[in-house]
Structure 1
Amino acid sequence: MPTFLELQDDAALLSFEHQLHLSERVGEHNWHVDLAQPRFDFAGENPLVCDRVHLLGSAAPGPRSWLWSWANPFGYRAEVLEIALRAKEFGERHGIRELSDAEIPFDALPGSPQEPAQVASLMMEAAKAATGHWSGYQGPTGGGTRAGFLLDHPELSLPAPTSPRTMRVLQQGMMELRLQDHRRACGSYAVNRGLEVSGDDGPMWITGPDFRIGVEFNEQNLMTKMTATLGAPS
């Protein structure tokens, strides 16, 4: 069964690619959410309206804790809570208290993060891996609190994988993201992206429709080398 930290690695690279795609789609923007509708608006150079909005929860500096949306006394609509409840069920099934407990103190999370944005990111990544919903957004809601949302919209779906984008995600993700196990992160990304994965102990081979990427790791499962071959696999 996965741990909370392993879920971070499982989510990291595919979540990163979805964030790249979202950023490219909406560009510079402002946002507004109405959970009574529900509706999430990106306003700016490339407007986008999402009418399927899932509130995961919020990280607040006052109590220094994350509160899952299903535990919030405000009482949100069922469709707004659907994915958070699915993450809760996953946590109960696998013994991951960060997903199943109603409120999580900042200090109970790995590394004892102090910033609400960092806490929201950790909780969102775990929920993404647990539920298979990958397009996320977090933002300020006042008083230093950060809320985390997952969004569904056809234009937020990823296009078919290409060699340049896959290489960028792997290379940039390895450099910029806090990954514990590069081999696990690469393998999870490839499987969730619908790519073929081979190689258990030595180099990992990630094969797409017109490319093959080889990734080598050291004994600590940290990436040491990456190569790409273009052209349809034989």
Structure 2
Amino acid sequence: MTFETLRALADRAALFTALRQDQLRSATEALGEHRWDVDLAAGGFTFTSTEHADRTLAATPHLLASIAPGPRSLIWSWALPQGDRSGITEKLRAYGAEHGIAELTEGEVAFPEDTGDDIGQWVDDLAHAVAGAAVEITGRSPYYSAPAGGARAVLLLDAPIEPLTVAAAVTALPRILTGLDLADPRASVWDLGRLAGWQLQWGDESFSTATLSDATGSARFRFDEYARITGIDGSLAGA
């Protein structure tokens, strides 16, 4: 399979996902040089400072899938011997059944014939697509992807990270957007509001602007005739 449906789901959530990954990155960078440890059986995932062992960031992991370049396949957590203890991938499976998405309903999904010359990079890209699709379907975030026994594990994390606010997004978005290629910017802005739990208001019938707001402020996105984001201006509560 080509996994294009998963990539389309991930594209829709791309803006929200990038902002949440940025929050996770900021939290782990605050630890300085660090390592990560996971115990799926115990439900534990911890980032630990290598210089100060008492400085940690603990999270609850939810294994989504294992992507293996050897057998050239993706195996969903619910189909692995240890099973999906959290039920997260059962939600993905149910979504796939409801919408006719075979990539989500088959326990093991083979890679397509053409993965390019760099299989490692292809697997990394697929891991991000899998995680982004899971964010889109479940609303949970952030995620983490890491090598595991010759494969790549993809996990959603319940981490002690502040909920995403409009104020935080307005600060981060100029930097985030420079490295983000949005397939459908207008849809991504709409989905950002949905996933973050904010209010959204379109400016006109042409959808040339969209204003997202919460208790911390508002952000207005401007779009050109090709639905590309041409500018963002914000108003913070109390400013």
Structure 2 residue 28 is matched with structure 1 residue 26: yes
> Under a length normalisation based on structure 2, what TM-score does the superposition of the two structures give?
0.81
Distance (Å, rounded) in 2 between the aligned partners of 1:130 and 1:110: 25
Cα offset for 1:111?
Answer: 9.5
Contact 1:203/1:217 (8 A) holds in 2: yes
Q: Give SS of 1:118's match.
A: helix
Q: Give SS of 2:140's match.
A: coil
Instruction: Map 1:2-21 onto structure 2 (within 5 A).
Output: 4-21=6-23
Contact 1:107/1:113 (8 A) holds in 2: no
Q: Give SS of 2:112's match.
A: helix
> Under a length normalisation based on structure 1, what TM-score does the superposition of the two structures give?
0.83
The Cα offsets for residues 94-139 of structure 1, whole Å up to 9 and x where unpaired, read as 1222222222334389999842221111011101111111121111
| Structure 1 residue runs without a partner (length 5+) | none
Structure 2 residue 98 is matched with structure 1 residue 93: yes
Structure 2 residue 213 is matched with structure 1 residue 207: yes
Distance (Å, rounded) in 2 between the aligned partners of 1:206 and 1:113: 39
**1:215 and 1:127, CA in 2 relative to 1: closer, same or farther beyond 3 A?**
same
Distance (Å, rounded) in 2 between the aligned partners of 1:108 and 1:168: 42
Instruction: Map 1:184-203 onto structure 2 (within 5 A).
Output: 184-199=187-202, 201-203=207-209
Paired position in structure 1 for 2:148: 141
Cα offset for 1:24?
Answer: 2.1
Structure 1 letter corresponding to 2:13: A
Q: Aligned residues, how many?
A: 223
**Aligned Cα RMSD in Å?**
2.7
Identity of aligned residues (%): 30
| Structure 2 residue runs without a partner (length 5+) | none
Instruction: Map 1:5-154 onto structure 2 (within 5 A).
Output: 5-27=7-29, 28-44=33-49, 45=52, 46-50=55-59, 52-72=60-80, 74-76=81-83, 78-80=84-86, 82-107=87-112, 114=119, 115=121, 116-143=123-150, 145-153=151-159
**1:95 and 1:170, CA in 2 relative to 1: closer, same or farther beyond 3 A?**
farther
1:158 aligns with one of 145, 158, 163: 163
Moved over 4 A (4+): 108-113
| Farther-moved stretch of structure 1 (168-177 vs 101-110) | 101-110
Distance (Å, rounded) in 1 between the aligned partners of 2:236 and 2:180: 26
Distance (Å, rounded) in 2 between the aligned partners of 1:37 and 1:231: 42
